[in-house]
Chain A
């Protein structure tokens, strides 16, 4: 039972992180039909810039966190303007390779500015463990799902209650009609990338105290989050959060019961199998076949 509880708790925290990053994929994909394959690198950027600001500011998390998010938001905007828009305008898929290249650039720039040694991101939430149901946990492991849930709720509310939020939804649902309302769709696409970058950065900041901060920490997070976004169907935010949890918990359960040798094989084979059965993901809607 402990094994099971442990796996679920582990899976919840990791799954929430995947979900948070995947939400970034969903937002840009919904608004612009493009995704940022350097999303994992932005996760890293969140953690690395947070760490560096934290050091410079003299251990002041309340400066470091917002500034790191700002950095990631700006990174999102730059990625959109330089790596995505030129290609989207030409109507080709060049953004796909361009964002991959952007990721290589970001990772390697971090390697030479931040350094090649993993560092610990200080957080009072991992200093002690708490015992819950015979399972030792860092408070952060409980905080992560809560923060993620709050973010999801806040986003939900923002999108539905604020004018800019509904405007973004309007662009998602019908971009040309939205522009007839006076909504600048290009600005909304930029906004979606800023938001996506900030979500990735937040994920980086949240996970950093549990993991360690280094220049390549984002790669696998980015790939797994992409799998989550795909499983969630790319367009449904709630579907993606659920897919994130399913993914995280499955990963932990497979490791717990079958050993870690098979985790990657089982999980990625499952991704393929699910897409065979549901080509639009678990929660995606099938598009109408327009002729």
Chain B
């Protein structure tokens, strides 16, 4: 469950938790001693048992993010084991230990299938497990007594001393608080960190060297152990054990107790159990209406207080962040230069294809120790795919990835990480619900779990982590949640986390995307520093100023093939590279034959438009007009904000300020599906046809918002524009080639009879002949009077058919004018390949 705010006392490590736990335990014992009524002792024991089970579930669900609807089955296994042993004159303590061990074993066994599935599939595995255990207990009558259960256990005695009800409640309370304390320690240890990592970002965990499967299995086993202990104490308390003691609904209740108390919070199970055990007792007057009331309460809690009781309590606390001593400025670099083993990364002739598409074709390079190698290329060139093959997420079809003289191609990500390869991601994959510091700790752990009860935040480790953060450019407080960080800081923290594994090779996937100029300079500085420590830096990046500024070598890919390799200056001059970015001169689309009438009306005005994702603004006060019948091209490098502009105009992305006026009506912040009715249609990047629907169905869906029906003649008119679609009308759209899909997407868009058609990267990933055909069609649309706003990588082509063009850089318009004037403008080339 998402918890956006932080509960400093209750969900994060804090020195006072043991004190608090201790005083609560003393309170429980005092209550037990003071109470004369056996009922009080009984209820204390029930709360304690529920708490222990809750701790187990909290490890599984709260820390590791895996749900279990069958946890009561573990409690049943524990209870029966204890019952059977006690009936056979085993001492209670022995029975308790054996129950815990056996239940843990059952947990490990269930984990084997359970870790292979997720979401509703995992829920089903645990439900099925419950039923298998329940019916197993019913049928194994010689051992379990069947439906009518086991009873007649000897009284509990420990070392010759027979426990009274009061003693038992004190014993149960001690076990409960030991469990809570264990949870507290585990959650601060390397184990807990690994579990939380798996929960928040499993992929990132594996590229930090963690075997996530083992972590999940371990969590399941550990979780079961606690349920087993709870079951073992339940036996002497109830003195009668039957299958009906463990109904399915109690699994739900146990889960609810954890959520109610606060998922992942140390005290959560206690608070939750307090409510789920005591409340029914308080409501006992309601008799048969109790469940009704309870269901309503459950719902109310989920809706009103999703972070549970501990979340509510945390809100009462003043929010203050601890202040840390700043480490010496060279802490990180000193540590890194000692820890890093200089290694070259050699990639030899790797190839990979996805469903017939050759994504990477015969790429080779050497990332040299201490140097920065950049991989660049237009969208869809296969750059990220190369990173994914190196870091173990894809297995190359052929070729080698060598480090330390070993071929590691196809090894799992965590092994690759252990070989000294670290990486960051295009969209950062931080552990959102962990602090910045914990994020770096998980890098320092580098897949090791350490001791289960040993806290990670020692003075020296904290100092080192902060050192790494500062080294990577993060200036903020290390104790805030990573999920609350602004975009730029997320980048820096991710780099710090990767560095914490002391890698030989650091892979960075578009680290500069979304960064402001000053931050980029900071980043450039950091990357150079990193390389100077002997680390091989492999950089995939669109920002050419950055790439040209810091790279030792540049590899250029186009459509999966390497087309150039060399020092920045050589690459910049390479005509093949220029053609790949700006388009080929081989083909030119026809310009408008007759000039546009000068008195055309303004169809759409964009005024000071700003927008972005979350905390990261991408567009800065963009303004321009589109006249009726015009074809406008928006040009710029990747990451300049072109696609964001298109998303914003189409209503997919909310604007943060500014206006969009369409046909004299303000339309900003309308949802996307309403924009269609207002006459604006976006043909999105990547075509996005509906793959399982036929071509005809796709086309007809375009007319979804139209009130009139689609006449046959109109359909034929559209198909005449796209003759390729005619023969495939009844084929599934997913079977079309990329070019055909692009035609279909445009045809689909035209069916809405839009006043303005937005085209986002229509030529992306298409074969040259297809691009030519596409542009002829676009030119014809323009000539037929369709108003078009076009974004395309291939600047030369877009300029061929456009009336006017705008050049974007860093989310702002940096140049504008007629197509001719833009074509001559030096800004254009520099926008794509960086200023010379």
Contacts and interface: CB of A to CB of B under 8 A. Distances in A.
Do chains A and B make direct contact within the complex (CB under 8 angstroms)? yes
Interface of A: 29, 35, 83, 86-87, 90-94, 96-98, 100-105, 108-109, 111-112, 160, 163, 166-167, 169-170, 173-174, 176-185, 223, 226-227, 229-230, 234, 261-262, 264-265, 268-269, 271-273, 275-276, 279-281, 289, 291
Given A176-B652, A183-B704, A104 B671 contact: no
B252 interface: yes
A60 to B, nearest CB: 31
Given A169-B690, A180-B684, A276-B116, A271 B124 contact: yes
Interface string B700-716: 11101100000000000
Contact of A170 (B135, B690, B705): B690
Given A173-B692, A177-B689, 14 more contacts: A92-B1, A96-B123, A100-B298, A108-B292, A112-B288, A163-B700, A177-B690, A179-B671, A180-B652, A180-B684, A182-B675, A223-B127, A268-B135, A272-B129
Interface string B671-710: 1111111000110100011111100010011101100000
Contact of B124 (A98, A169, A177, A275): A275
Interface stretch (B34-42, B299-307, B331-339, B773-781): B299-307
Most chain A Cβ neighbours within 10 Å, of B125, B671, B682: B125
A182 B677 contact: yes
Contacts of B650: 180
Contacts of B116: 275-276, 279
B94 interface: no
Contact of B117 (A173, A174, A179, A275): A275
Given A104-B291, A269-B132, A291-B203, A179 B672 contact: yes
Contacts, number: 191
A268 B299 contact: no
B673 A185 contact: yes
B128 A227 contact: yes
Most chain A Cβ neighbours within 10 Å, of B128, B255, B289, B388: B128
Contacts of A176: 652, 672, 684, 688
B298 A97 contact: yes
Given A163-B700, A169-B690, A174-B690, A182 B705 contact: yes
Contact of B295 (A104, A166, A177, A185): A104
B306 A92 contact: yes
A86 B748 CA distance: 33
Nearest to A176: B652
Contact of B691 (A29, A104, A112, A173): A173
Nearest to B676: A182
Given A181-B752, A264-B131, A275-B113, A173 B704 contact: no
A234 B123 CA distance: 13
A97 B256 contact: yes
A113 B764 CA distance: 61
Contacts of A289: 393
A59 B575 CA distance: 84
B673 A183 contact: yes
Nearest to A90: B2
A113 to B, nearest CB: 11
Contacts of B294: 104
A208 B221 CA distance: 42
A133 B141 CA distance: 39
A217 to B, nearest CB: 16
| 7 A-B pairs with the lowest CB-CB distances in the bound complex, closest first | A182-B676, A182-B705, A104-B295, A177-B688, A101-B298, A268-B128, A108-B292
A88 B394 CA distance: 31
B124 A173 contact: no
Interface string B639-650: 000000000001
A160 B693 CA distance: 8
Given A92-B306, A93-B1, A269-B128, A174 B701 contact: no
B528 to A, nearest CB: 27
Interface residues of B, dominant DSSP: helix
A97 B292 contact: no
A100 B252 contact: yes
B210 interface: no
B425 A181 contact: no
B120 interface: yes
A78 to B, nearest CB: 12
Interface in B1-60: 1-2
Contact of A272 (B1, B128, B252, B296): B128
B652 A98 contact: no
B158 interface: no
Interface in B381-399: 384, 388, 393-394
A280 B120 CA distance: 10
Contacts of B752: 181-182
B121 interface: yes
A271 B705 CA distance: 44
A180 B676 contact: yes
A289 B701 CA distance: 29
Given A102-B299, A167-B704, A96 B684 contact: no
Interface in B122-163: 123-125, 127-129, 131-132, 134-136, 138-139
A226 B120 CA distance: 9
A291 B677 CA distance: 36
A223 B302 CA distance: 22
Interface in B526-540: none
B761 to A, nearest CB: 14
B704 A91 contact: no
B692 to A, nearest CB: 6
B673 A166 contact: no
A272 B113 CA distance: 7
Interface in B765-793: none
Given A230-B120, A276-B112, A180 B299 contact: no
Contacts of A272: 113, 125, 128-129, 132
Given A265-B135, A272-B132, A275-B121, A91 B299 contact: no
